[in-house]
Structure 1
């Protein structure tokens, strides 16, 4: 039971698995979204350039039908005439063609982003294996895709039928109109019907996009064992270990700096060391080191203490002793009780001082572990 549950893909994909999937060219894509956006772009381009295309097509047909008979019999002029006619036709359709090509390239990037994978073009034995191919053909995914395609055909067919039915009287009346009026009216009816199809395709795409994202996440899911194996593999890499240690140090430093404003006093070297102490009589037996640092970190502790009006006392021997002997969130050693007691007494007197002579800063003197070092 436990073995089968361990093999179930219940865990979300790790960043490494997602990265490897993208390298293989495996990203979420929705063909329906691409089709819908290309259709909408085509409708917009036809609406904006349709009049120019129809006018140009009429002129092109007129010039083609009024061709000089001499051109047809001249083997040198006929290819030139056909080339010019083809060039004019391409010039008319070029804006629509370019717009559709651009949308066909951009639309897939809206889901999954830009991704070029050389591995996707490399030969894969599984792709040409007949057994694997049969497995793909008769898989559940293939059945679902077949049902989706049939459903899309039904929906689009119904929408097209409704669009045609709503304009049936106008379609019948086209025969009684002049050629120019009939062409313009037919173009309007075509645009109307095509807009209905675009709306239906957009609705299908809005349903397909969440499904494709869900299907993609499902394909990338991992078993608990795969996650454990990947973690072990990653942990063995020196660069990953170094990065983890760096993140841990940054998080620890951030938490430490958050404790500086709550300190009772900051004891300094004055430049090389800074140690922030906090004493809560009902919670700890002795003062606790809530922050400490050397050089730049010591400077940051002092600056943060000034901003939050934490008393700062220069006592080089005591600062060195505290820095060397006590870790973060630990109580000070008994050998430093007397010196720290003098400091806290002075700080409490400062808090109560209102008028009269201010309290005298204590002379800490030498303390165990406070000897000078190379700093």
Structure 2
């Protein structure tokens, strides 16, 4: 990136900062902002309400009525989704969901990538966090091609996986039957949670805390993926995962438990303890998340587990009972909030 602007926080006045931010904005977007919202709507062939719905669904600030805030590429994107909606018969709710899925995901990806780059520069060059951030901003436009190509490649690979899963999973099923009372997808849902996370991490600095959380999630994600499952999301210090089969879910849960029994996985010299739950049931998949009674039960069970344990519910126990690889031990009936009395079962290898 060729420029004469100083990119050092100690040297920047507010005027200089605004000038550099404007230059970065143009270099990243690839063109200048030349349109107001009404001009964008006219260029895209839609009304202003559609433009504002689109922008709001992306999760971006809505510009003032007469503010020049949009590029010709913005107009092309709005025109493209509007034409696709007309051709495919998508209603407003579907358009909002599609746009929101991209906006929400890209917001997380953009921040995640920036923080990864900042962390790398800080560690490799021995810079402070602030200095590292300005160094990353200086180099960011040069990194756009590789970041963009990796994003497109990963999206195509993930879409191909999901398309294949759908075709295989639903082959042979009666597509004329619509059971509104039954959730559509049979899945194993599980949680892995760090025991006493707050107490264990209170004394950690920002860098050490970030490394600890990142390592925990990365190790959990890798194990889940290696066993054919998928991480749905992280919730604080817990990771939620799903699997297509009950046995697959059991193998993931046990692999996670075994992984965190290894002595080298420590914080401040002390082993990290985890607790895990697994529930087999039917779920609804929406917005990149899954919902249903089995999800709620799995979230409740993980809180009941002792360190190192994998807890399952009676229905999941029945599904796994015929497998000689597993040792299933009944616990004491417990009152589970929002569920009632449940007898948790411990899952272990026989």
- TM interval, shorter chain, is under 0.3
The structure with more helix, counted as a fraction of residues: 1
Report the TM-score, using the length of structure 2 for normalisation.
0.19
Task: Provide TM-score, normalisation by structure 1.
Answer: 0.18
Greater RCO, 1 or 2 (C-alpha within 8 Å, sep 6+):
1
Answer with 1 or 2: which has the greater Rg. Answer: 1
**Which has a greater percent of strand?**
2
